[in-house]
Structure 1
Amino acid sequence: MGSNTKFKIGLLHSTIREDEKLIIREAKKKDIPLSVIDVRYQVFNPDKWDNNIDVILDRCLSTSVGFQATLFFERIGIPVVNSSRVVQNCDNKFLTSLLLHEHKIPTVPFALVFTESQAKEAVKELGGYPIVIKPVSGSWGRLLAKVNDDDALEGIIEQKQVLGSPIQKVFYIQRYVKKPGRDIRVVVIDNIAICAIYRETSHWITNTARGAEAKNCTINTKISDICSKTSKAIGGGILGVDIFETDAGLLVNEVNHTMEYKNVQRVTGVNIAAEILKFCQGVSKYG
């Protein structure tokens, strides 16, 4: 592409975390025009929008908010990273699993049900307890439950049915996978795995937001291949792919479309913020 002055990136956000600060600093360092757009102070009216933006980078904390804004920008002809299709494919964990299954990418065995009786049937089909029950949408390892028997399953489902929102009454169930005290988070940009970390913890939930420690992970051919296939199945873009190591091989667990990457950048030394901006240049009107 030509000079950086030919395009402007709109950084869409609802709060500025360290991840967004890294992008802002990198854009300033490279003299890349960047408009920081707080969704809380915008009126998304297609007849009135007047902002000379060539590509939007969605970094909203709320997927629901970011998704609506993404739809708006796409409809008025501004490309968004990530696209609304990718957001949908990642946000709905059941849909993610279905896409992985459809493309024959090894993933954690799963099922979806709406009643207690069918949940018990799903447990049998998945090989018995323990299982993991989680919302079809969510992040940071929240509202996950490792269920060890029928009594626990009945209690969890009753609470969700009585106290939960409508989405909590959809029961997404996965086989529990015994991990070696860690999982792998891989940063994938444009279908290429650029860096990865191990997230190590003695807890069964391996998430840095829940206290897991980040350590560098060298990307081998197996990790690279499964991440490339996963990215293509999801729709590409900038993704965080979560992988489990098992005796049978690697399993993709989830895919994140607005990943927090500050720990990955710190541990690996890879300038992820620069790679994000480079990718945005490629999908802009002038890419």
Structure 2
Amino acid sequence: MSDWVILATTLASFDHAATAHKVLTTRDYLARPELFRGARPNIINLSRSYSYQSRGYYASLLAAARGQRVIPSVETIIDLSARKLYENAIPELEDALNKAISAGPDEAAPARLRVFFGTSADPRFERFCRLLFDWFRAPALEVTIKPGSWSSIPRIALLPLGKFDGADKEVFYAAMARYTARQWKDAKSRAPARFSFATLVDPSEEMPPSTIDSLKHWARIAARMGVSVEPITRKDLPRLANFDALFIRETTSISNHTYRFARRAQQEGMPVIDDPVSMIRCTNKVYLDELMAANGIPVPPTVMLIGPEDFQRAADQLGFPMVLKVPDSSFSRGVSKVGSMEELRKLAGAWLADSEVLIAQAYMPTSFDWRIGVLGGKPLFAVQYLMAKKHWQIVKHDTGGKPLEGGFKPFTLAQVPPLVLDTGLRAARSIGDGFYGVDLKETDDGVFVIEVNDNPNLEHGVEDAAEKDEVWTRLTNWFIERIEG
């Protein structure tokens, strides 16, 4: 059976020569659910109407209930039913629209722009159309444009197939062919994969949480479990819904595209690591400190710094040296040790110019940090990260060249001290049900949580060195269980 199914109000309304995919009437799709029982086709809903309680509306609604990907989703249909429901997207879209107009030739923008699968016949609006498709994943959209010194967008609407003219149909069918090409599928595969997972990567990232080689190792294991794994980049957001799950393997931030990918995956009902809530919680150390304290999980003594008036209080409670942190720092960046009030005033004063809140913590010198990997509330791996040579952190950045990392020592889960393992599990479970890396310090005074990472390192030969391929098998099963559930 084809991976794609096209829904049309009548078979006569669709050019069957324009696609190799199965074309079905909306009525048959609604009335005959047994046609796709046990299958997960991707549905393109080209009904004559998407109005509330129409057949087109119910086609998208029931596709979701049947566990099938559908474009447009019922959420998109509802969002575009009234301007007040999509007005939060207008500022970003109008900005992209006006940039396209100003960068192109000196000619007026059209009064109406028709967008098919994130493309249009006018190359000036290529980036705008992709952004529009990012916001509203629909086969065909019509954007009403009000010209002026700043062109505005009074209306965005779904465009049914019946409203196309001859030229529109040619552009539309070409765009649909590109969209449904399924280029990610391995043509050499002996048997089709049950599921397709996307892994979001940045090939140029200096210190990614997983290297491409590690992801290739995972792909080989996943393939034996009926799963295909494909790396995607930030340009592939329009294709995201073609996959069944998303594994983000870039350093995450709620202020960049990684958060948008996580939100889109969640909106599509896809299992995703990292999920948006975990990203929000884990990427801010102020929140983590409050959350750990609220759950009775030990953390180093901490003082929040909101202004210079807090410096003396930090010195009195923590003493020197102390550790100063920017709330959304990662990979040891934005984390520094200060040894005196003078150093504290100088560094904190500079950092407060960019972040209105900092945290200071008691310095706890150790020769290593524990990292407990937790997946779905259960321990996944354990490793000790050793401090970089002649440095107090596991990564030394100010080397004048590449960052210097300490070594590592893998442990089976059975070898981990029970208090370390239990504390790591409690910390991760307070965040959610995803994949987390809990950093802990084991001292004479007890075990303390330093950080909970939402996209922890997972490198073949490091984090999986003790538990071997069981790590990758359990990761794959985490996604499969949620897809099938």
- Worse-superposed segment, 220-229 or 266-275: 266-275
1:25 aligns with 2:25: no
TM-superposed CA distance for 1:29, in Å, is 4.0
Q: 1:6 to 1:25 in 2, by over 3 A?
A: closer
Percent identical among aligned pairs is 21
Of 234, 242, 245, the residue aligned with 1:52 is 242
1:273 aligns with 2:472: yes
CA distance in 2, matches of 1:228, 1:50: 31
Cα shift readout 1:113-156 (whole Å, capped 9, x = no counterpart): 2212213222323x311110011112211132111111111111
1:78/1:100 CA distance change after superposition, 3 Å: same
1:213-228 mapped onto 2 (5 Å cutoff) = 213-217=407-411, 218-228=415-425
Counterparts of 2:275 and 2:237, CA distance in 1: 20
* Residue in 2 that maps onto 1:11: 199
CA RMSD, Structure 1 to Structure 2 (Å): 2.5
Structure with higher Rg: it is 2
Structure 2, unaligned runs of 5 or more:
1-37, 40-191, 204-210, 397-402
The equivalent of 2:360 in structure 1 is 173
Q: Structure 1 pair 6/22, CA: closer, same or farther in 2 (3 Å)?
A: closer
Is the 8 Å Cα contact of residues 241 and 252 (structure 1) preserved in structure 2? yes
Tell me how far 1:282 sits from its aligned partner.
1.9
CA shift for structure 1 position 28: 3.0
- List aligned pairs for 1:75-90, cutoff 5 A: 75-90=267-282
* Contact 1:184–1:197 under 8 Å retained in 2: yes
For 2:334, the equivalent position in structure 1 comes to: 143
Does the residue aligned with 2:465 lie in a helix, a strand or coil?
Answer: helix
Deviates more, 1:77-86 or 1:92-101: 77-86
- Does residue 1:239 correspond to 2:397, yes or no? no
1:212 aligns with 2:402: no
Amino acid of the residue matched to residue 13 of structure 1?
V
Shift, 1:170, TM fit: 2.5
Give the CA deviation at 1:223. Answer: 2.1
Q: Cα gap change, 1:11/1:196 in structure 2, threshold over 3 Å: closer, same or farther? A: same
Q: Superposed, which structure 2 residues align to 1:87-236 within 5 Å?
A: 87-125=279-317, 127-161=318-352, 166-167=354-355, 169-179=356-366, 181-201=367-387, 202-207=390-395, 210-217=404-411, 218-236=415-433
Aligned amino acid, residue 473 of structure 2: A
**How far did residue 241 of structure 1 move?**
0.7
The answer to whether the 8 Å contact 2:193/2:223 transfers is no
Q: Which amino acid aligns with 1:12?
A: L
Matched residue SS, 2:334: coil
Once residues 158 and 225 of structure 1 are traced to their aligned partners in structure 2, the CA distance between those partners, rounded to angstroms, is 38
CA deviation map 1:187-242 (0-9, x unaligned): 11111222211112352113496421101232232122112211110112111110
Gaps of 5+ in 1: 44-48
For normalisation by structure 1, the TM-score amounts to 0.85
Question: How far 1:185 sits from its partner (Å)?
Answer: 1.0
Flag the structure with more relative contact order, 1 or 2, with Cα contacts below 8 A and sequence separation at least 6: 1
C-alpha distance in 2 between matches for 1:27 and 1:222? 33
Residue type matched to 2:419 in 1? Answer: K
CA distance in 1, matches of 2:430, 2:231: 31
Q: TM-score scaled to structure 2, two decimals?
A: 0.52
Rounded Cα–Cα distance in structure 1 between residues aligned with 2:293 and 2:212: 34
Match of 2:450 among 245, 253, 256: 253
Task: Give me the whole-angstrom Cα distance separating, in 1, the residues matched to 2:345 and 2:212.
Answer: 39
Equivalent residue for 1:46?
A: none
Q: Is contact 1:199–1:207 with CA below 8 Å preserved after alignment? A: no
Query: SS where residue 67 of structure 1 aligns?
Result: helix
Partner SS state of residue 120, structure 1: helix
Deviation, structure 1 residue 255: 0.9
Of 61, 66, 69, the match for 2:258: 66
Report the AA paired with residue 76 of structure 1: E
Q: 1-side partners of 2:434 and 2:237: how far apart?
A: 25
SS at match of 2:451: strand
Deviations 1:36-71 (A, max 9, x none): 32223434xxxxx67332222222234332112111
AA at the equivalent of 2:392: W
C-alpha distance in structure 2 between counterparts of 1:226 and 1:214, whole Å = 20
Alpha-carbon distance in 2 for matches of 1:65, 1:123: 38
Tell me whether 184-193 or 10-19 shows the greater mean CA deviation: 10-19
Q: Distance in 2 between matches of 1:282 and 1:170?
A: 40
Q: Tell me: CA distance 1:210–1:134, structure 2 relative to 1, closer, same or farther (3 Å).
A: farther
* Aligned CA distance change for structure 1 residues 257 and 50 (closer, same or farther; 3 Å): closer
Change in CA separation of 1:173 and 1:17 when aligned onto 2, cut-off 3 Å: farther
**Can you list the C-alpha shifts for 1:89-108, whole angstroms capped at 9, x where unaligned?**
11111111111111001112
